[in-house]
Amino acid sequence: MSVLIYVELDNGYIKKTSLEAVAYGAKVAEKTGGQAVVLALGKAENAELEKAGKYGATKVLHGADAKLEHENSLAYADALVQAAAQEGSKVIILSKSGLGDAMAARAAAKLKAGIVSGVTALPETEGGFKVTRSIFTGKAFATTEIKSDIKVLVVRKNAVEIDEANLTGSNAAVEAFQPALRDSDFTASVLSVEKADSELSLTEAEIIVSGGRGMKGPEHWQPLIDLAKALGAATGCSKPVSDLDWRPHHEHIGQTGIKVAPALYIACGISGAIQHLAGVNGSKCIVVINKDPEAPFFKAADYGIVGDVFEILPKLTEAAKSLK
C-alpha cells in the first residue's frame, strides 16, 4: 500500500508547503508499511522533481500534459484519483491551500473516501486511523477517526518538523504519468495569469513582518519594509490597511484574507482583532509591537514590545543586519 502525496508547483518549482507534505507523507508511509509516491502536475524539470526524494519520496509521477499547465481543480482531482488507482494508494495527502482543499474534496467524493482537513500531526495507526486537526480557526484541536478504506488528509503548514540541513533521502525516480483528461473538465480555460508583484509568497514565507493602522499611513511603511528585507521576510498587513489602500490586497492577512503559518510573525501596530488572529494563529512564534499595552494582540503573543514602532523597527533592523 502506497501513500500518494500531491505537490503544487510554482513556476516549475515545488512549493515549500508541498515539500512539508512530502515529508509528512513519508512518515505516514513508515507507519503503514508502504512507500511515499508523489504526484506533480504541470511544467517542471526532472531535477526539481527528483528532490522530493530527499524528503522521503521513492518516486514521482509527473503529468506534463500541456492542458495541465494552469491550475484546474476539476482536471487535477481526476488525475489524483487515477494516480491513486494506479498506485493502489489508501492514503492521499495534500497541503492545505485553495487548490489543495478543492482537489481533496472532489477526489474524496469520487473515491468515497473519508476526508480530514487542517491536519496538524501524524496519525495514530494503532487500533484504527486517527488524526488531529485544527478547529474553530485554530483555537482548539479535535481527534478524528477515519474508518473508510481510502483516506484523504489535507495537512496544515508546520505539521511536521523538517531539518533542512540533515535531509538523508536520495533523489526520487521520475516517471511520466498521462491521466485520461475529460473535455468536461476544461469548459472554462485560463486566458492569462497576473501574479502579485512580491518577492516572497505569504503562504510560503518562514518570516512575515506585518503592519496595521498603527503605521499611520502608506508613506510610513519603509521601516517595516527595511526590517523585512533584513530578515528575508515577506510583508503583510491587516484588513483595515488593505481596505484603505495603504497596501495591496494580496498582503491582507486574516480570516477573510490569507491565512499564514510562518515560523516567525512580527505584528507592527496591529491591535489584534479576532479576524486577524484567525489568520495568524498557526504561526510558531508571534512578536507584537504596539504602543498600547492593552492591545488584544498581546494576549496571543509569545513576545511583546510596548513602544513606538517607528523607534523600535529601525533598532530591530540594525540588530538583524548585525547578525548577518
Residue 22: is its pLDDT beyond 90?
yes
Say which range, 70-79, 152-161, 247-256, 269-278, has the weakest mean pLDDT.
Answer: 152-161
CB atoms within 10 A of CB 275: 15
Three-class SS of residue 170? coil
pLDDT of residue 197: 61
Residue 269 annotated as part of some ligand binding site: yes
Let me know if domain 2-186 sits in CATH 3.40.50.880.
no
Residue bearing the bigger pLDDT, 33 or 107: 107
Task: Name the residue ranges covered by the structural domains of the chain.
Answer: 2-186, 207-321
Mean per-residue pLDDT of the chain: 93
Residue 271 annotated as part of some ligand binding site: yes
Residue 161: is its pLDDT beyond 90?
no
Three-class SS of residue 210? strand
The fold adopted by the segment(s) 207-321 is Rossmann fold (3.40.50)
Residue 274 annotated as part of some ligand binding site: yes
**Angstrom distances, CA of residue 269 to CA of 182, 198, 203, 219, 312:** 50, 22, 21, 15, 11
Residue 275 annotated as part of some ligand binding site: yes
The CA distance from 180 to 203, in Å, is: 31
Dihedral sign, Cα of residue 97, residue 268, residue 216, residue 306: positive
DSSP secondary structure, 48-94, as one string: HHHGGGGGT-SEEEEE--GGGSS--HHHHHHHHHHHHHHHT-SEEEE
CB atoms within 10 A of CB 76: 26
Residue 162 annotated as part of some ligand binding site: no
Domain 2-186 identical in fold to domain 207-321: yes
For residue range 38-49, what is the model confidence (pLDDT) as tens digits? 999 999 999 999
Dihedral sign, Cα of residue 233, residue 239, residue 243, residue 246: negative
Residue 1: is its pLDDT beyond 90?
no
Residue 276 annotated as part of some ligand binding site: yes
Residue 290 annotated as part of some ligand binding site: yes
pLDDT of residue 196: 64
Could you give the count of Cα atoms lying within 13 Å of 54 in the half-sphere of its Cβ?
A: 13
Give the cell for residue 59.
Answer: 518516486
Residue type, 172: A
